[in-house]
Structure 1
Amino acid sequence: MATSDNGHRPFPEDLDRNILLRLPVKSLLRFKCVCKNWYTLIKNPYFIREHLYNCSKSKSLQLLIYDYGALDGSPPITLISDHGVAPLHENLDYFQRFRGMTILIGSVDGIYLLERISDEKISYALWNPAIREVRPLPEPKIQFSTREGCFGCGLDPSTNDYKVVYFIKNRYAAVYSCSRDSCRIFEFTFKIFHSSKNCIVKFIFGTAYLNGAYYWLIREWVTEGVKCSFLSFDFSNEVFGEIDGPDHYSDPKMPILFDDSIALLNLSADCVYDIWVMIQPGVWNKRFTFQCFPYFKSWYSSTVIFVTKSSRLVSYNVKTQKTTHLGLSYPGLKGVSYKDRCAVYPYKESLVAIKRENEELGHCNYLEIFDSSIEL
């Protein structure tokens, strides 16, 4: 390796940084051991945010498949990327420990919220699969459950603090802060839920987080059809808000992110979908109409993930109108119950650490805390 006059370094420091920013997380975790300078750089919050930004701008497809009905000996978690279908990590024993999840929510900056029920006890944790860190959430003073209420995860951009919000309509809400490692509980009586016709759509297919706010779709049945609006939560101010949806009555399915804007995926007819993009709060523009496969699974960048009638996973890019078979075929892809279905989530590599400060527990210890009541 060539050397130079800058202290026998093979490359200038800024060139080192630019090269490292383009490497995958797996390589960076190994390179932390090369030298003290690299370790400090890779752990630097500014480097982590810049690396995450680079990953976010990548158009390469990455999907995390969680098989809720995986048989013993089969990995419950699989990764689909441009390189094909493969386990997310070569250490299959690690991912066997994630059996029995009742739901995954996310991801935001590569972080997922996990829910597990055992002996009627519900536990939650944050998980970054790229760096294999798990952060169990403290036992709440109120009952959390995805069957009663709704969750959202996001970053408070004013403090760089990751938070989890939970609410039950007309009852209470709670906000967990990673930096404080505590939960703030307050009354939740938002006006849009006073009508018994209002029904919130739990967003479990991906993420509806954008620029410090999380969004849930609310559907209300009216004479003309289904009217939709959006409930938002600002992670900086920790307040809820409401945004009018498109003035269009059909079958709104879910909020999505499209070109750094909140958008709505709407079913307008049998297997015919519309995409409405929010130009500004309450102002919408219909951008695309397309016909595709019947079983909708997820959304990734400008790509919709569907399942064919023959249980094959496919992607459809609404901009290029290109359909791609993703190489995965499994009956559970069409399943709707947690016992026999596969969930599909966007996956983003991230160096974001979620361990508590000054905590020296290793990865296995974290999982043991989360799995303390689970027989593996």
Structure 2
Amino acid sequence: MRNETPYLPQEIVRNILVRLPVKSLIRFQCVCQDWKNLFKTPCFIAEHRHHSTQQNSLLVTDCYISKCIADTWHLSILNREMQFLEFRNPPIADTFGPLWRTIHSSNGLLCLDLIITNGPYNSFMLWNPAIREVRQVPHFINDSEKSDDSSVGFGFSPVVNDYKIVKLSLLDRMVVEVEVYALRTGFWRKVKLGNLEVTTIKSDHGFPCNGSIFWYGLKEYDRIDVIVSFDIAIEVFTLIPFPTESLAFELSPFRLTMYDNKLALVSAIRNNESSLFIELWLIEECTNEPREGWIWTKIYTSRSCPCWSLSPMIIWRNEIVCSVHAMHEMPFGSEMKNDEAKVLLCNLTTNEFNMFAFPTKCDFTNRLLDYAESLVPLSNIKIEGQ
């Protein structure tokens, strides 16, 4: 307008800022004190995190690059343009050794553990690569003498606004002890096993979804397949029974994942010697009488896959991502090199397949995570209004 200073309402400015990448927001902290303070508020962080998750989701995989002296751990990411990039390793990783393994990603935070060749997990680290913050997690309470293995989960609960690491100590894959680390307190504490007694854990890692962490398990006595659910807020375990078709899952590669913001399971089902199909099941809790309990609904079956053998891993951008072990002789398959880690994308809308390969310099570890950068701090976790 003439003779008036150009002006944008604060609502529009905020609406623009919340859509920018973290790197730009870090630079813009020097624009003014109001912006610097805004970027640290829980409300803005949550709004930016939500937009980043919906619009800028990335695919992350562990990579180990072999060298003459030792192997080096790296994270590779696949962006929306199907381009591969690399994270810069956190400086603290070099202090504790080169071999780290990613447990899971939650709201832009990565939970890493140090790989120990002669014992269970020994050290954990929380890392926000976008804002370059790292927190070394203290050693857990006890190394259980009756434990020979462990399975770890990491997730977030909006109810208590906290991130937690859950460590299941295992003996012959049966749970003997549970310890929980809360980011807000910075301490480990033991929790009761509850109905986890005589439950065998078959998952290497827990999968986070909607404030809970899930493992695939097996009841020792009645041999009923179950999903073990841990509520992060109230720290209670629940067992979710498999449907009557569970035998097909047990005989086929499958993975817990999330679809439409709900817990889901993807599985590769072989009907005969030459036909393999990908199935997607939603797992929802029903509280309405008389159907109280958990409901399994199959919502997708692919056409016959162009692979002899594959393992579903994750749903990313409306596509089921699978690692490929063997392929038919097809045109796009013949273009791949034998030493490349092949990945198959199955589009849930078009039912089309697309094959691509990870960089040859990386040793693909069969771990893929959905990641979106965020401003979530590791120093102070605050609940808005307190």
Q: What TM-score range do you get, normalising by the shorter chain?
A: 0.7 to 0.9
Which residue in the other structure is 2:300 paired with?
288
Residue 64 (str. 1) matches residue 60 (str. 2): yes
SS at the partner of 1:273? strand
Which residue in the other structure is 1:21 paired with?
18
Superposed displacement of residue 265, structure 1: 1.7
**Counterparts of 1:95-134 in structure 2 under 5 Å?**
97=94, 100-117=98-115, 122-134=122-134
CA distance in 1, matches of 2:92, 2:76: 10
Superposed displacement of residue 76, structure 1: 2.0
Q: 1:329 to 1:266 in 2, by over 3 A?
A: same
Deviations 1:163-215 (A, max 9, x none): 11122344221111111111111342535x42xxx5323254xx732221111
CA distance in 1, matches of 2:148, 2:301: 33
SS at the partner of 2:314? strand
CA distance in 2, matches of 1:261, 1:67: 29
Report if aligned partners of 2:162, 2:381 keep a CA contact under 8 Å in 1: no
Which residue in the other structure is 1:260 paired with?
261
CA distance in 1, matches of 2:92, 2:167: 27
Report if aligned partners of 1:201, 1:217 keep a CA contact under 8 Å in 2: yes
Report sequence identity in percent.
Answer: 24
**Counterparts of 1:1-376 in structure 2 under 5 Å?**
10-58=7-55, 62-71=58-67, 76-89=74-87, 97=94, 100-117=98-115, 122-143=122-143, 148-168=149-169, 169-188=174-193, 190-191=195-196, 193-194=197-198, 199-204=200-205, 208-219=207-218, 227-248=224-245, 249-252=247-250, 253-269=254-270, 271-280=276-285, 281-290=293-302, 291-292=304-305, 293=307, 294-296=309-311, 298-301=313-316, 302-308=318-324, 309=326, 310=338, 311-326=341-356, 328-330=358-360, 341=365, 343-355=367-379
Q: Which amino acid aligns with 1:64?
A: V
Of 148-157 and 37-46, the range deviating more from structure 2: 148-157
Report if aligned partners of 1:174, 1:186 keep a CA contact under 8 Å in 2: yes
CA distance in 2, matches of 1:285, 1:150: 28
For structure 1, the 5+ residue unaligned runs are: 335-340, 359-376
CA distance in 1, matches of 2:89, 2:117: 26
SS at the partner of 1:32? helix
Report if aligned partners of 1:125, 1:137 keep a CA contact under 8 Å in 2: yes
SS at the partner of 1:39? helix
Q: 1:188 to 1:317 in 2, by over 3 A?
A: same
CA distance in 2, matches of 1:46, 1:357: 12
Report if aligned partners of 2:268, 2:278 keep a CA contact under 8 Å in 1: yes
What's the TM-score once normalised by structure 2's chain length?
0.76
Q: Which amino acid aligns with 1:260?
A: N
Matched residue count: 339
Q: 1:348 to 1:201 in 2, by over 3 A?
A: farther
Q: 1:295 to 1:119 in 2, by over 3 A?
A: closer
For structure 2, the 5+ residue unaligned runs are: 286-292, 327-337
Deviations 1:49-73 (A, max 9, x none): 1111112222x55211221344479
Q: 1:164 to 1:258 in 2, by over 3 A?
A: same
Superposed displacement of residue 228, structure 1: 2.6
CA distance in 2, matches of 1:69, 1:144: 33
Which residue in the other structure is 1:365 paired with?
none
Report if aligned partners of 1:67, 1:77 keep a CA contact under 8 Å in 2: yes
Deviations 1:94-122 (A, max 9, x none): 59849733421111112221111468682
Of 269-278 and 38-47, the range deviating more from structure 2: 269-278
Report if aligned partners of 2:224, 2:241 keep a CA contact under 8 Å in 1: no
Q: 1:137 to 1:347 in 2, by over 3 A?
A: same
Q: 1:273 to 1:327 in 2, by over 3 A?
A: closer
What's the TM-score once normalised by structure 1's chain length?
0.78
Q: 1:263 to 1:68 in 2, by over 3 A?
A: same
CA distance in 2, matches of 1:126, 1:63: 18
SS at the partner of 1:164? strand
Q: 1:221 to 1:185 in 2, by over 3 A?
A: closer
